[in-house]
Structure 1
Amino acid sequence: MIDWLQDHSGGLNVVLNGAMLLVWLAYLHLFLTSFRRANRAVVHIARAVDTDGEARCLVTNMGSDMVYILGIKVDVRAGEERFATLVTDRVHEDDPLGGEMRDRTNQGPLCGGEVLDIGAFRRICERAMEDAAGPVPDSVEITVIVAAQQAKRLMGGYKRFEVRDEGGTIGYRSEDVLTRQITSARRRRHLEQELTA
């Protein structure tokens, strides 16, 4: 056996070195994958407190790194009509300014695990519909746009809530438990154009 090992040591060396290289490549892949996952920005949008128009819309940074909220876009569909607007700022032009920054705007930094209340669903829809006393919305889609990875990349998430009459009160419910993340470069470019328009 020892003679056979000595005769084939060159070939065995190549095989063992190749196996060791494959193990190190697997470790490197595992390390890079876990590093990217840990440093990826993930935005979650949820409904809290109630199910009617006074239910609060919460935005959570589910990533470990801080993100900067650049804008919050709302798309409301009411029959054949569609209303879309940015509701990043919390106040109208004629409202008094003062107090903390977060009292006036939703824009700003959001640490990992931090939650931001962006307002009541009813008020968010009214702002998108420009306070129009029109039909009750059929659905509202909320998109949160953030700058992530030390403000080198535009990212975000979106969730659609169906608006239903639930025995005399208007309810906001989503069929999705999780928030859909914006990952395509085309969608990120489109959002960037909307923010700069």
Structure 2
Amino acid sequence: MVLIWVVYLQVFFTSFRRQRRPEIIISLGAGFGKQASWFVANLGLEPVFVVDIIVRFETASGIAEAIVTDRTEMSDKDLANPAEATNQGPLSSGSFMSIGNLETLLQRGNVEIGHASEIRGLTITVVAATAAQGMVVGASRHYRLQSSDDGDWYLLATKLHTEQIRGRAGRRDLARRLEDRLG
């Protein structure tokens, strides 16, 4: 009887932890090539607060990393609310937000690349805070640039799923990167 209760409690506890675990998805859509936009979605049951969005551009000449959280392509006159000037903020369960297309991410990050086709690949990392666990978590997805036969190009994800950064070492690395940015 005790063994049955221990197994039951283990199943209950595992299910409870899985439900409270954040699940951040990064996807590319709503267009093709330069016009495609990236979306960040929260598929966890608990809301998360998006702290930062980091983009790492891989080019033939090297690697450039930029924080693209703030929406610098919009002027103060275009904004009805100051919250529209950033992608930072709460993301409730089941909701999503657009973080922009390739050109806007390059502009926000002040990354000097002559032509978008110089980009070999890029990695988008979303850093978020959770109230339920009181820690930073993240998600990361890598894309590579692919040219088509007609000379056009498009971006392809290198993996089917977004990599979740929930482990102790990954969370510590995210926190260190944010602290380094503070000075």
Q: Indicate conservation of the 8 Å contact 1:75/1:128, yes or no.
A: no
Q: Residues 102 and 173 of structure 1: is their aligned pair in 2 closer, same or farther, counting only changes over 3 Å? A: farther
Matched, 1:155 2:137: yes
Query: How many angstroms apart in 1 are the aligned matches of 2:25 and 2:86?
Result: 19
- Report percent identity of matched pairs: 27
- Cα deviation for residue 163 of structure 1 reads 1.0
| Match runs of 1:128-167 below 5 Å | 128=109, 130-133=111-114, 136-150=118-132, 152-166=134-148, 167=150
The TM-score with structure 1 as length reference comes to 0.82
The more displaced of 128-137 and 177-186 is 128-137
| Match runs of 1:82-93 below 5 Å | 82-91=63-72
Query: How many angstroms apart in 2 are the aligned matches of 1:103 and 1:180?
Result: 27
Q: Which of 1 and 2 has greater Rg?
A: 1
Q: Indicate conservation of the 8 Å contact 1:140/1:160, yes or no.
A: yes
Query: How many angstroms apart in 2 are the aligned matches of 1:102 and 1:96?
Result: 11
Q: Residues 86 and 114 of structure 1: is their aligned pair in 2 closer, same or farther, counting only changes over 3 Å? A: same
| Cross-structure match for 2:164 | 181
- Cα deviation for residue 186 of structure 1 reads 2.2
Structure 1 gaps, min length 5: 1-19
Q: Residues 83 and 129 of structure 1: is their aligned pair in 2 closer, same or farther, counting only changes over 3 Å? A: farther
Q: Residues 70 and 55 of structure 1: is their aligned pair in 2 closer, same or farther, counting only changes over 3 Å? A: same
Amino acid at match of 2:70: D
Corresponding residue SS for 1:188: helix
- Cα deviation for residue 103 of structure 1 reads 2.2
Alignment: residue pair count: 177
Matched, 1:172 2:152: no
Structure 2 gaps, min length 5: none
Matched, 1:96 2:79: no
| Cross-structure match for 2:96 | 115
- Cα deviation for residue 102 of structure 1 reads 4.3
The TM-score with structure 2 as length reference comes to 0.88
- Cα deviation for residue 114 of structure 1 reads 0.2
TM-superposition CA deviations, 1:149-174 (whole Å, max 9, x none): 34601101100011122232220111
Matched, 1:105 2:86: yes
Alpha-carbon RMSD across the aligned residues, in angstroms, is 1.9
Q: Give the ranges of 4+ consecutive aligned residues of structure 1 lying more than 4 Å apart after TM superposition.
A: none
